[in-house]
Amino acid sequence: MRSEEEMLELIVNTAQNDDRIRAVIMNGSRTNPNARRDVFQDFDIAYLVTDVDSFRNDHAWINRFGELMILQLPEAMKDPPPKNDERFSYLMQFTDGNRIDLTLFPIAKLHEFGRESLSLLLLDKDRIVAPFPALSESDYLPIAPTAKAFSDCCNEFWWVCPYVAKGLWREEIIYAKHILDQLIREELMKMLTWHVGVKTQFLRSPGKLGKHLKQYLEPELWAMLEKTYADASYESTWDSLHMMCELFRMTANQVGAHFGFDYPRNDDEKVSAHLNHVESLPKDAKEMY
């Protein structure tokens, strides 16, 4: 596996030797002084170029970066549809384990280029890129909820729970697990992020998709979160749903108390009673109540 130094030299030298590339910017975990260093970190690179189409129309130029395991060209795909914002990306996974996510961005649109708090300027041939501030995680830190955001999160969580119960009673496990692991978990993770924010004064991030939650959650809450991940059995999925409800209830009450927000106890009590009722509802029931 090529080292970080070898990869950065390759990335910068490629730009140095190509007149179409005028500047190079890196962001992401490799510029984050607080990120854990490991062999899976990729290189998030932006080339500011004079002509995107000349790169887009001839893919052979990327061969210089190494032997590819697999390549993805997001802007050349139909699903999901591209944003059509004139950029073009090469997502390159190499056989030696390295990965480069390379975005080509037109110099003419430099005023539209998104500047991130973890952006690091590696090369600027024409001194056209305004200096970046000191590297920080500020763009990636959680934001404290408003009363409306808190209320909406609680409402969505308890609104969607009966869908899982319906799917489990009907023995539609794929449907039930999709609702559980997509819609309900999204609201749970949002509340857990706010809980971590309260603990850390919103100065630490639980990471993309909550990947660092174990580092910040109390051990008992982490143990509960682990139990929300079920196999495909109906019994364990019911257990996961109930555990999600308990974990959401605990953290939402704590977050709500911290900010002075009202927690919808009435919704919680009525929906929770309904879940218990549906779980015990006979399969040949002709009426729900």
Helix locations, 170-232, DSSP H: 173-178, 185-200, 213-216, 219-226
| Closest listed residue to residue 148, CA positions, set 259, 71, 1, 68 | 259
User: Would you state the structure tokens that stand for residue 251, as one six-digit string?
Assistant: 């953290």
Query: Residue 185's CB: how many other CB atoms inside 10 A?
Result: 19
Task: For residues 125 and 20, give the distance between their C-alpha atoms in angstroms, rounded to a whole number.
Answer: 11
Task: For residues 18 and 6, give the distance between their C-alpha atoms in angstroms, rounded to a whole number.
Answer: 18
pLDDT tens for the 289 residues of the chain, in order: 999 999 999 999 999 999 999 999 999 889 988 888 899 999 999 999 999 999 999 999 999 999 999 999 999 998 878 777 789 999 999 999 999 999 999 999 998 888 888 999 999 999 999 988 888 888 889 999 999 999 999 999 999 999 999 999 999 999 999 999 999 999 999 999 999 999 999 998 898 899 999 999 999 999 999 999 989 999 999 999 999 999 999 999 999 999 999 999 999 999 999 999 999 999 999 999 9
Gap between the terminal Cα atoms of the chain: 63
Task: For residues 100 and 91, give the distance between their C-alpha atoms in angstroms, rounded to a whole number.
Answer: 6
Give the per-residue pLDDT at 188: 98
Give the per-residue pLDDT at 224: 97
Domain parsing of the chain, residue ranges: 4-139, 142-279
Q: How far, in Å, are 145, 149, 199 from residue 204 at the CA level?
A: 15, 20, 9
Give the per-residue pLDDT at 171: 97
Q: Which fold has domain 142-279?
A: Four Helix Bundle (Hemerythrin (Met), subunit A) (1.20.120)
Q: To the nearest 10°, the Cα dihedral for 33, 221, 142, 29?
A: 30
pTM, two decimal places: 0.87
E strand or H helix that includes residue 54 = helix 52-56
CATH second-level architecture of 4-139?
Answer: 2-Layer Sandwich (3.30)
Same fold, 4-139 and 142-279: no
Give the per-residue pLDDT at 13: 98
